[in-house]
Structure 1
Amino acid sequence: MGPSIFLLLCVLGLSQAATPKIFNGTECGRNSQPWQVGLFEGTSLRCGGVLIDRRWVLTAAHCSGSRYWVRLGEHSLSQLDWTEQIRRSGFSATHPGYLGASTSYEHDLRLLRLRLPVHITSSVQALPLPSDCATAGTECHISGWGITNQPWNPFPDLLQCLNLSIVSHATCHDVYPGRITSNMVCAGGVPGQDACQGDSGGPLVCGGVLQGLVSWGSVGPCGQDGIPGVYTYICKYVDWIRMIMRNN
C-alpha cells in the first residue's frame, strides 16, 4: 500500500467545517472535475481549491490555515475511490493586497505550493488559467462539497456541480452597492442555486478555463432569488500568479 493511500485511509472519517458549499447542485460526473481540490486540517474539510500546476493550488485568501492536507482525485469523501492523491501544502503566498475578510474580500486569493508534485492522471489534472476575462452571460459551472439544500444531508459526501451564468458588473453592483470592484465577478442569482458555506476557494470554470474562485455572497440564506455569488476574478491576477510560481 502506497503512503498516499495509507494516509487517506487514516483520514476518511472526516468532519466538515462551516466556510463558503454547493447549494442545490447535482452529483458531478466521476472524474469530470479533475482539478477539484479539498483542503483539510486533520479530518475537517476547510475549503475548496483548484489545481493549476503539478505543484500549485489556488484557493481563497480567507482560507487562512497555515498547512493543509491537500486531497485530489476525490469523488466520495468517505469511500476509497482508488483515484485519490494526498499532498501536504508547504509554502503559501497570499495576494499582498488582501486586507482580511472583515475589511473587504478584495484580492481574495492565495497560492499553495505542494511539497511533492502530483501525478497527472484522468482523475487529477491542472485547470488552465484564462487568457481573457469572461463576460456577462457566459455559461460556467462550480463544484464542491459545501452545504446543500437537503436538511437531512447538508454536507454531501459526493462532489456536487452546478451550472450558472456570469452576471453583469452593473447588476452585481446594484445588489452589493459599494462592495463590488473590477477584481470581482458575479455569477448565479437563480433561486435556490448557489455556492454556499464550505465551497470557498473552489473553481468557477467557464469554457474549460479558470475564471473565478468562490469568495463571498449574501449574509442571508444561500440561493436567494436575484442574489448572485461573488468570485475572485482570476483573469485579473494571471501575471501575479505566474510570477509567484516562477519565483518559488
Structure 2
Amino acid sequence: MYTCRGFSFFILLSVSTMFIDAKNIVSSENRTNISQSLVSAIVDGIDSKSRMFFVIVHTTDSYCGGTMIDRHWVITAAQCVFGRQTDTTHIQAGDFTKQSAKQFYEVKKVIYADGFDMLTYNNDIALLKTKKSMRSLRSGHKFLPMCKREPEDLAVLGSCGMGSDSSYTINQPSKLQEVLYDHGSNSAGCPENQLCLISFLSGSSICVYDQGSPLYVMSCGQTKPQCLFGVASHWTGSNVGMGHLCSRVNVFTKILPLRDWIKNTIRAN
C-alpha cells in the first residue's frame, strides 16, 4: 500500500496560514473564451506548487480540469464533455502557477467510461485523445501515472484546480489552487466507485469548474504527487442550493476500478 504515517499532521500545520483572498468575478464572456490564459479555483484552497500534468479542458460553453496521463491522452470527468462537439473541445496545458504562455491542443477523440451515468455520476470519467503529442522538450509537460493500488487510511490526498474560489459566486484566482484530504475521511455510504472526502481545512472544497481535476496520492514527507487516484466529479451537502455553489463534501470517481478499461482503451485507440 501507499503509506504516509504522520504526514497528515505535518501537512495540516504547513498549510494553516496559506489562505488566499477572493479575486475578481469572471464574466460569462470570459468563461467561454479559450484564449484566456487563466480561467476561474478551489474554495479556501492554498496556492499549489507547479503541477505540470494538470490541464484545462475547454468546450464551447464551459471548461473543466483534467490530467495528462500519456503523450496523447487526458483524463477528465465525462460530464464535462458529454454532448459537446469534439472539434470545439481543446486542451490548455502549461504552468498554471504562473502568468505564462499556455499551449493548446485539439482533441481528436472522446471516449466515455463504460457505465457512465449523467444522473448519478457513476463512472464519471472520459478519455480525450489529442491530435498532436503533448510531449516535447520545450513544453515541460509531465504525465501523472495511475495508482496501482489503494493507499492506506493515513495517506494524504491532494486535488488541484482552477475552478471557482468562492462558494457564493464565480471568482477568478491568480494561480492554481490545491486542497488536501485525509484518505481516511472517506464517508461511509459513499457509492462503491466513488470517494466522498472532506478537506483538512475547514471550508476548503472543490467547486464549479473543478470537475475533472485530478485527485492524487502525495509522497511521504513532501508535497509531490505520486499517482492519480481519482477524478473530481461533484460535491454534496445540506448547503448546496441554499446560496452555495458547492459543499465541503467532495466526490471523486475512483481510478482503480476503471484502470484496466483506461489502459485497454488507450491501447486500442
State the TM-score, normalizing by the size of structure 2: 0.73
Q: One-letter code of the match for 1:66?
A: Q
Alpha carbons of structure 1 residues 115 and 105: separation in structure 2 relative to 1, 3 Å: same
Distance in structure 2 (CA, Å) of the matches to 1:153 and 1:223: 11
Structure 1 residue 73 corresponds to structure 2 residue 89: no
SS across alignment from 2:195:
strand
Structure 1 residue 155 corresponds to structure 2 residue 172: yes
Alignment of 1:220-235 (within 5 A): 220=240, 221=244, 227-235=248-256
Identity percentage over the alignment?
24
SS across alignment from 2:78:
coil
Structure 1 residue 109 corresponds to structure 2 residue 125: yes
Distance in structure 1 (CA, Å) of the matches to 2:96 and 2:183: 26
Distance in structure 1 (CA, Å) of the matches to 2:185 and 2:217: 15
1:165 Cα deviation from its structure 2 partner = 1.6
- In the alignment, what sits opposite 1:133? 150
Q: One-letter code of the match for 1:24?
A: D
Distance in structure 1 (CA, Å) of the matches to 2:260 and 2:148: 11
- In the alignment, what sits opposite 2:18? none
Q: Which runs of 4+ in 1 moved over 4 A?
A: 14-17, 150-153
Structure 1 residue 201 corresponds to structure 2 residue 224: no
Distance in structure 2 (CA, Å) of the matches to 1:238 and 1:152: 35
1:228 Cα deviation from its structure 2 partner = 2.4
SS across alignment from 1:33:
coil
1:66 Cα deviation from its structure 2 partner = 2.8
Checking the alignment, whether the CA contact within 8 Å between 2:212 and 2:232 is kept in structure 1 is yes
Alpha carbons of structure 1 residues 138 and 120: separation in structure 2 relative to 1, 3 Å: farther
Q: One-letter code of the match for 2:105?
A: R
Distance in structure 2 (CA, Å) of the matches to 1:23 and 1:153: 10
Q: One-letter code of the match for 1:97?
A: G
SS across alignment from 1:193:
coil
- In the alignment, what sits opposite 1:176? none
Alpha carbons of structure 1 residues 168 and 144: separation in structure 2 relative to 1, 3 Å: closer
Root-mean-square deviation (CA, aligned residues, Å) is 2.7
Distance in structure 2 (CA, Å) of the matches to 1:218 and 1:151: 15
Q: One-letter code of the match for 1:72?
A: A
Q: One-letter code of the match for 1:12?
A: S
Structure 1 residue 95 corresponds to structure 2 residue 113: yes
Distance in structure 1 (CA, Å) of the matches to 2:169 and 2:208: 16
Distance in structure 2 (CA, Å) of the matches to 1:23 and 1:142: 12
Q: One-letter code of the match for 2:262?
A: I
Distance in structure 1 (CA, Å) of the matches to 2:207 and 2:228: 19
SS across alignment from 1:211:
strand
Checking the alignment, whether the CA contact within 8 Å between 1:135 and 1:168 is kept in structure 2 is no
Checking the alignment, whether the CA contact within 8 Å between 2:229 and 2:256 is kept in structure 1 is yes
Q: One-letter code of the match for 1:184?
A: Q
Alpha carbons of structure 1 residues 191 and 223: separation in structure 2 relative to 1, 3 Å: farther
1:99 Cα deviation from its structure 2 partner = 2.1
- In the alignment, what sits opposite 2:35? 12
Aligned match for 2:72, one of 48, 55, 69 = 55
Checking the alignment, whether the CA contact within 8 Å between 2:235 and 2:246 is kept in structure 1 is no
Which is strand-richer, 1 or 2? Answer: 1
Q: One-letter code of the match for 2:209?
A: G
1:11 Cα deviation from its structure 2 partner = 4.3
Q: 5+ unaligned residues in a row in structure 2: which ranges?
A: 1-32, 219-225
Q: One-letter code of the match for 1:181?
A: P
Structure 1 residue 241 corresponds to structure 2 residue 250: no
- In the alignment, what sits opposite 1:22? 42
Q: 5+ unaligned residues in a row in structure 1: which ranges?
A: 1-9, 174-179
Alpha carbons of structure 1 residues 154 and 113: separation in structure 2 relative to 1, 3 Å: same
Distance in structure 2 (CA, Å) of the matches to 1:124 and 1:59: 17
